């Protein structure tokens, strides 16, 4: 199954519903630039290994390219193209002046020493350096990349340019020009959307049960934030296993435990009845809200019908295939889609870039005061489009993005 094809299907569907004019769909079906690099690294055992790296710059009609870099053994060009396209859509949904890009390296970073990882990151940065920069393309963290990796990228790029260029990447530590609130921004943005959605259906947040798939950056922060709102987090998972505690978990404790033990499955609270479950079983648990914050293609035509959640919040990119989408729609499950729900990450990345360019930094309160209205406005526009076109929130989110992209393309190129 091609992930990029799935993305194009989503665009096609929205384009049909809104009767998108002219060649806009065609333009957006092709990335503007595709870069593939070979990265030779001398490994600790003295052997040379060549790694494959990608950067896809999908569209820059609304602003410089923006998107994360993923380190994962399953990264390929098709996936990076899909992720870059979603970035274009996402920035348009929240109406920030950026385009879409994505990068990746085919690697399991857990198998590399710190020196090898640093070397790989620096060589990748060097290889793509002619094509990135604060006004051209700004990478950020994604799966298995983090503030340390961003620090190496910024340092390498600054060396190449002969001056300090903090705005070349976002998701940096605050000590070197990162923004306060960036670490939890993806989850916080998703929580703002979820709160607005719950208001719109007349439900209270307190007491709702939550299951979280993926306990990394996005998953751990969302579990913590929802627990703070009075929701009951009953299950968590990472790539190794899942943990189901029907009486509820304390996310803060699970975060500390996962950092120590490396596996969320080993983090059962003492004296509580908990069960270690598979990732497959976790997706099928009875709950009010299922949060998908791991990887793409988690709900497919194979397992979608077994979902018992009433609402799904997508913090991961592309966790539900178009076939599963149809099944869930038929079951009446509301899906708060990735290009809306996880856009808080890129929004605070945009704030980080702005702060870097001004060399003037905001307090956490200021960051959150700017993030919240952007997310709630985006939700309202998506909700209005869902009513107007009588469609799902995903279709409405794509329609929202396509309208803004269409306006920009028409104004600049007359297409
Ligand atoms: P991360 O590397 O911090 O965490 C990924 C987590 O997923 C880890 O806990 C890992 O163990 C788990 N995982 C991997 N495979 C799994 C599987 N098959 N089943 C269950 N868990 C599994 O990454 P992240 O930054 O939290 O990103 C997660 C998702 O959110 C990705 O799809 C990413 O593109 C998306 N996203 C992240 C951000 C961000 O700011 N970090 C922004 C937008 C979207």
Q: Is residue 10 over pLDDT 70?
A: yes
Q: Which atom of ligand 1 has the smallest separation from the CA of 349? A: 40
Q: Is the CB of 86 under 6 A from ligand 1?
A: no
Separation of 145 CA from ligand 1 center, angstroms?
Answer: 10
Mean pLDDT for 324-336 is 97
Going by the DSSP 8-state scheme, the letter that residue 293 receives in this structure is -
Q: What is the pLDDT of residues 285-297, one digit of tens each?
A: 999 999 999 999 9
- CA-nearest residue for atom 35, ligand 1, is 316
Q: Is the CB of 153 under 6 A from ligand 1?
A: no
Separation of 93 CA from ligand 1 center, angstroms?
Answer: 21
d(Cα 218, Cα 183) in Å, to the nearest integer? 9
Q: What is the pLDDT of residues 30-78, one digit of tens each?
A: 999 999 999 999 999 999 999 999 999 999 999 999 999 999 999 999 9
d(Cα 325, Cα 2) in Å, to the nearest integer? 16
Average pLDDT, the chain: 97
Q: What is the pLDDT of residues 231-259, one digit of tens each?
A: 999 999 999 999 999 999 999 999 999 99
CB of 368 closer than 8 Å to CB of 187 = no
d(Cα 396, Cα 252) in Å, to the nearest integer? 35
Give the up-direction half-sphere exposure of residue 238: CA atoms within 13 A in the CB hemisphere: 20
Answer whether 0.85 is exceeded by the pTM.
yes
Helix (H, G, I), strand (E, B) or coil at 99: coil
E-strand spans in 16-159? Answer: 33-42, 48-59, 65-72, 100-106, 137-141
State CA 122 to chain mean position distance: 23
Which domains are present in the chain?
3-10+31-166 (3.40.50.10860), 185-341 (3.40.50.720)
Question: What's the N-to-C CA distance of the chain in angstroms?
Answer: 32
- CA-nearest residue for atom 13, ligand 1, is 239
Separation of 253 CA from ligand 1 center, angstroms?
Answer: 19
Question: What was the pLDDT predicted at 270?
Answer: 87
Other beta carbons within 10 Å of 229: 15
Question: What was the pLDDT predicted at 324?
Answer: 97
d(Cα 242, Cα 406) in Å, to the nearest integer? 43
Q: Which atom of ligand 1 has the smallest separation from the CA of 258? A: 9
Q: Is the CB of 217 under 6 A from ligand 1?
A: yes
415 pLDDT tier (thresholds 50, 70, 90): low
Sign of CA pseudo-dihedral 373, 378, 384, 390: negative
Mean pLDDT for 320-348 is 97
Sign of CA pseudo-dihedral 232, 214, 290, 338: positive
Helix (H, G, I), strand (E, B) or coil at 193: helix
Q: Which atom of ligand 1 has the smallest separation from the CA of 215? A: 9
State CA 147 to chain mean position distance: 15
CB of 211 closer than 8 Å to CB of 291 = yes
Question: What was the pLDDT predicted at 413?
Answer: 84
Q: Which of 13, 102, 232, 258 is catalytic?
A: 102
Q: Is the CB of 170 under 6 A from ligand 1?
A: no
d(Cα 55, Cα 34) in Å, to the nearest integer? 6
Q: Which atom of ligand 1 has the smallest separation from the CA of 182? A: 40
- Cα 255 to Cα 42, 267, 272: the distances in Å are 34, 9, 17
Q: Is the CB of 338 under 6 A from ligand 1?
A: no
Q: Is residue 26 over pLDDT 70?
A: yes
Other beta carbons within 10 Å of 160: 14
Q: Is residue 205 over pLDDT 90?
A: yes
102 included as an active-site residue: yes
Q: Is the CB of 239 under 6 A from ligand 1?
A: yes
Q: Is the CB of 213 under 6 A from ligand 1?
A: yes
d(Cα 343, Cα 347) in Å, to the nearest integer? 6
Separation of 66 CA from ligand 1 center, angstroms?
Answer: 18
d(Cα 53, Cα 37) in Å, to the nearest integer? 5
d(Cα 32, Cα 58) in Å, to the nearest integer? 5
- CA-nearest residue for atom 5, ligand 1, is 216
Q: What is the pLDDT of residues 144-197, one digit of tens each?
A: 999 999 999 999 999 999 999 999 999 999 999 999 999 999 999 999 999 999
């Amino acid at each position: 199954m091609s992930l990029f094809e799935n993305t194009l299907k989503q665009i096609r569907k929205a384009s049909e519903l809104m009767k998108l004019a002219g060649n806009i769909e065609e333009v957006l079906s092709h990335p503007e630039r595709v870069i593939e690099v070979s990265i030779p690294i001398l490994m600790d055992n003295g052997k040379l290994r060549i790694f494959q790296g990608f950067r896809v710059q999908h569209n820059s009609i609304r602003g410089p390219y923006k998107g994360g870099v993923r380190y994962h053994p399953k990264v390929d060009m098709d996936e990076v193209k899909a992720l870059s396209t979603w970035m274009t859509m996402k920035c348009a949904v929240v109406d920030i002046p950026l385009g879409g890009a994505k990068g990746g390296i085919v690697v399991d970073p857990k198998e590399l020493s710190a020196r090898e990882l640093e070397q790989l990151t620096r060589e990748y940065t060097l290889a793509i350096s002619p094509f990135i920069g604060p006004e051209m393309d700004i990478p950020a963290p994604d799966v298995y990349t983090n503030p340390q990796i961003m620090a190496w990228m910024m340092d390498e790029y600054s060396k190449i340019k002969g001056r300090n260029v903090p705005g070349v990447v976002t998701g940096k530590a605050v000590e070197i020009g990162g923004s306060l609130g960036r670490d939890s921004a993806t989850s916080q943005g998703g929580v703002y959307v979820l709160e607005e959605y719950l208001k719109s259906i007349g439900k209270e947040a307190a007491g709702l049960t939550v299951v979280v798939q993926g306990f990394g950056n996005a998953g751990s922060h969302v579990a913590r934030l929802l627990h703070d709102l009075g929701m009951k987090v009953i299950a968590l998972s990472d790539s190794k296993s899942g943990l189901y505690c029907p009486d509820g978990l304390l996310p803060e404790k699970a975060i500390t435990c996962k950092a120590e033990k490396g596996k969320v499955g080993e983090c059962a609270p003492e004296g509580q009845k908990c069960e270690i479950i598979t990732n497959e079983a976790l997706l099928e648990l009875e709950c009010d809200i299922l949060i998908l914050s791991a990887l793409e293609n988690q709900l497919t035509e194979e397992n979608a019908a077994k979902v018992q959640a009433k609402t799904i919040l997508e913090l991961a990119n592309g966790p539900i295939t178009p076939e599963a989408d149809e099944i869930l729609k038929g079951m009446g499950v509301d899906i708060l889609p990735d290009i809306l729900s996880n856009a808080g990450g890129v929004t605070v990345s945009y704030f980080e870039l702005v702060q870097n360019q001004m060399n003037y930094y905001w307090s956490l309160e200021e960051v959150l005061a700017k993030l919240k209205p952007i997310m709630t406005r985006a939700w309202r526009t998506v909700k209005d489009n869902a009513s107007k076109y009588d469609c799902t929130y995903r279709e409405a989110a794509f329609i929202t993005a396509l309208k803004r992209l269409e306006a920009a393309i028409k104004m600049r190129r007359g297409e």
